[in-house]
A and B are shown apart, each in its own frame.
Chain A
Amino acid sequence: MAKDGLTEFRLIGTRPDRPDGLDKVTGRARYGADFALPGMLFGAVVRSPHAHARIVRIDTSRALALEGVKAVVTRADLPDGLEGEDWDLQENTLAGDRALYDGHAVAAVAATSRLLAEEAARLIEVDYEVLPHVIDVDDAIRPDAPVIRQGAADASVPEGMPPNVVRYMEFGHGDIEAGFAEADIVRERSYRTEAAHQGYIEPHACVGQLGADGAGEMWVCTQGQWYIRRMCAAVLGLETAQLRVTPSEIGGGFGGKTTIFMEPLSLALSRKAGGRPVKIVMSRAEVLRATGPTASASMDVRIGMKKDGTITAARAEFRMQGGAFPGAPVDMALYCAFAPYKLPAVQHIGYDVLANRPKCAAYRAPGSPMGAFAVESLLDEMCRELGIDPVEMRLTNAVREGDRASYGPTFGSIGLVEVLEAAKGHPNMAAPLGPNQGRGIASGYWFNHSGETSVSMAISEDGTAQVSVGTPDIGGSRASIALMVAERLGIPYEDVRVNVVETGALGVNEPTHGSRATFASGKAAVVAAEQAIAEMCRRAAAEWGIDAEAVEWVDGAAQPAGPNAGRFPPMTIAEIAGKMGQTGGPISGHHEGLPEGVGASFGAHVVDVEVDPETGRVTILRYVVVQDAGRAIHPAYVEGQYQGGAVQGIGWALNEEYVYDDRGRLANPAFLDYRVPVASDLPMIDTVIVEVPNPGHPYGVRGVGETGITPPLPAIANAIEDAVGVRLTHLPMSPSKVLAALKGRG
């Protein structure tokens, strides 16, 4: 399906076994909690049971008196004077004078066993003065709401805004009122989404060691070891280069492991315990209460449309709470909300609001699913009203290369039209529907992030290659990077080993986030391979006594570039590598930079549902994900990203939400009650990989990891209306909400 027809690769697009597969099916792979060191202590964290409370007194004496307890830390052990995001991280690591949410860490203890540490944590006495709290975003934005933190607003917030608004944005283009005046119908609706958790199955875990000299080490499950290093150093006042962070295998992250939570505590405890290493493993309840879920949102959308489906103007006002700290992804939600549409006039307004909830973290396409829920739902309703096919409406308004994006820039090569055409032609679109069954479609968008990237590769003595990358492998990126390097070097896939390395081994890398690993580390690895190839060509040229420019690299060997270059048999990578010690020393390549040429990815999902009119339960009957991958390096893992993203979106749409009681305590901090989709909830998830190659990547890669979570929320809402004629505007669309809507219909 490639646009350029140039898909003749030796390895790109094949599906070899992933290199880390054997370790992962035998239980050998070492994740965060699997690491241990001699003399290791175990840490436990004391957490606030209140949504908002002044910390009056912390008495650690009974805990410290317990035999085997080696250290206790409170905020008094952390340095003063931090500002901005560093202060936010420190405040979230350990509460200062107030606990800001249920689960906020207040103290931590290290002891000789896990059970002892937990017992000691229970002996730490904290006196609280409970303060009024606020949970809901619309409540938090009221002028008389309890104030989370005075002075937290940045310069973007105009005078006179309510105190919990900490960021404000307004952007757009065109004459919005003229656009609405031109429309045949103008419709407006409000939508709400609830906070959802990434739900990675592996709880956060680390082992930290820090000596009196300020030098330390950490082993941790993370999406980004350099982020861990920088953030821990900032929170603890360490010199960054003195901390060496080694990533373990990672049991899922989805954005939630791009920041720190309890990691600095292991280092702080270690320092107080004479430098003994300290292991901290979160419980599931701690993960849900005190790591970073996504924001909750309250959104108003207004759209003008002509009778033929042309959108004339669009306006979105989004309010999001991301917990007790700035950072709700309202900006990203607004950038993505109208991204699939070419709009003559558009206006975006956003509010980032504080509430007494945990500090939100990134969750797969942060913000985009909420915005899509609002916009794609309203568009579907307008198509119904006008009797227009929802796919045709999307094609009528689809952005193409050269169009101005709703959020400002001009699109380069994109594949939205190809995606919509593929969805239109998919057999699921023609599947018959029975009573109480309906079909929904929605589009989605996410960027492709570049970011700081450092990669090195070295040719081994036998002509095999090792690649060192700084982006942890969450979903098969070792395989995709090995495929690209092997393709370029002209050697077997099995001859390339990709290692995810620690912070001491490379320059700075951003995490595996922003759908960047295969794009950015992959692109840098190809550049590194090309440097090694150039050097190998020089070695061959020197041996042959010809110019290096007269040597080319073909099928894993140097050869004269043409008959005029001389007649020499090809010199293979193994031959060159075998004598590199005599011909000039090691052969390697490396690349450090911000890889340019990112390629954004559009998707469209088609879902068929059945609604049980007795219970309100929604069953997914069929599901297909269509998305532009640019080019699928390892198609099985591209499909895996599509399927996994879709199912996370299905969970968010139908079941998942943070439920708070009237005292602001999280009421469902367990997988039993925070219910993610299970195998019996789902059908097979069909996928169509559209390939409109990204010209900015040597093999055409786009970021594929995140777009897939975006369309399910609106697609399912649209399918429910198609099935039973009710429109749900508040997630999750749980049986009780669907039943209430059906009853309201009469």
Chain B
Amino acid sequence: MSKVHVTTTVNGDAVEFLADPRETLLDCLRDHVGLTGTKEGCGTGDCGACSVEMEGVLVCSCLVLGVEANGKRVDTIEGMSDGHDLHPLQRKFIEHAALQCGFCTPGFLVAAKALLARSPDPTEEEVRYWLAGNLCRCTGYDKIVRAVMDAAAEMRQEAA
């Protein structure tokens, strides 16, 4: 199948690649752009390990075709920290031991960041429902929810 030239912006950088029209955005990020922080856990939009933001909207990159990213802005886990300065969510995940194997962690962080952008002071229930599309098999979610709540509190304090 002939390939399509895709021009996009990933984490602020201009990126070009040739995509087979059957390839997902997840495939393109991992195989063509070389950003393997975004993970495939299911390929069917059920686990959230491939969460990225496209044009500021949280999506499962396994459910988006690579060619759809043409002309769009994509943000992944690799763009979450500011150089060495970790995003508060990243710091709180380490501090709260909110990861064990760490495979689902990029997806959780990207999804949680999208939550805090729209709801800076979420209830525990809100966090749990927002993150219901992200599967974690190691932690039982307890420490993840605590880390997100704590990061939100810190971000509110910084904003105040």
Contact = CB atoms under 8 A, between A and B. Distances in A.
Interface of A: 15, 17-18, 20-31, 33-34, 113-115, 198-203, 249-254, 281, 283-284, 474-476, 636-637, 639-640, 643-644, 646-648, 670-672, 676-682, 684-685
7 contacts: A20-B102, A27-B36, A115-B1, A200-B137, A250-B103, A647-B140, A678-B132
A283 B43 CA distance: 7
B22 A115 contact: yes
B97 A682 contact: no
B20 interface: yes
Closest 7 CB pairs of A and B: A27-B37, A251-B103, A24-B102, A647-B140, A671-B46, A636-B97, A643-B140
Nearest to B94: A21
Interface string B119-149: 0000001011101111111111111111000
B41 A201 contact: yes
B47 interface: yes
Contacts of B30: 33-34
A194 B41 CA distance: 23
Contacts of A676: 135, 137
A679 B96 CA distance: 17
Contacts of B41: 201-203, 251, 284, 671
Contacts of B132: 678-681
- Interface core residue of B36, B47, B138 (most chain A CB under 10 Å): B138
| Secondary structure of the B contact surface, majority rule | loop
Given A25-B109, A26-B77, A640 B137 contact: no
Contact of B101 (A475, A647, A671, A672): A475
Given A676-B137, A679-B141, 11 more contacts: A20-B102, A26-B86, A27-B37, A115-B23, A202-B103, A251-B103, A284-B44, A670-B42, A671-B42, A681-B132, A682-B142
Contacts of A670: 42, 44, 46
Interface residues of B, number: 61
A636 B146 CA distance: 13
Contacts of A15: 97
B137 A252 contact: yes
A29 B77 contact: no
B145 A679 contact: yes
B140 A672 contact: no
B35 interface: yes
Contacts of A24: 99, 102, 105
B156 to A, nearest CB: 21
A639 B140 CA distance: 10
A679 B137 contact: no
Contacts of B99: 21, 24-25
A370 B103 CA distance: 28
B141 A637 contact: no
Contact of A640 (B81, B129, B131, B139): B139
A26 B89 CA distance: 11
Contacts of A476: 97, 100
A252 B101 contact: yes
Given A640-B143, A644-B140, A646-B140, A27 B78 contact: yes
Contact of A202 (B80, B101, B128): B101
Contacts of B96: 636
B104 interface: yes
A200 B35 CA distance: 22
Nearest to B126: A680
A253 B39 CA distance: 16
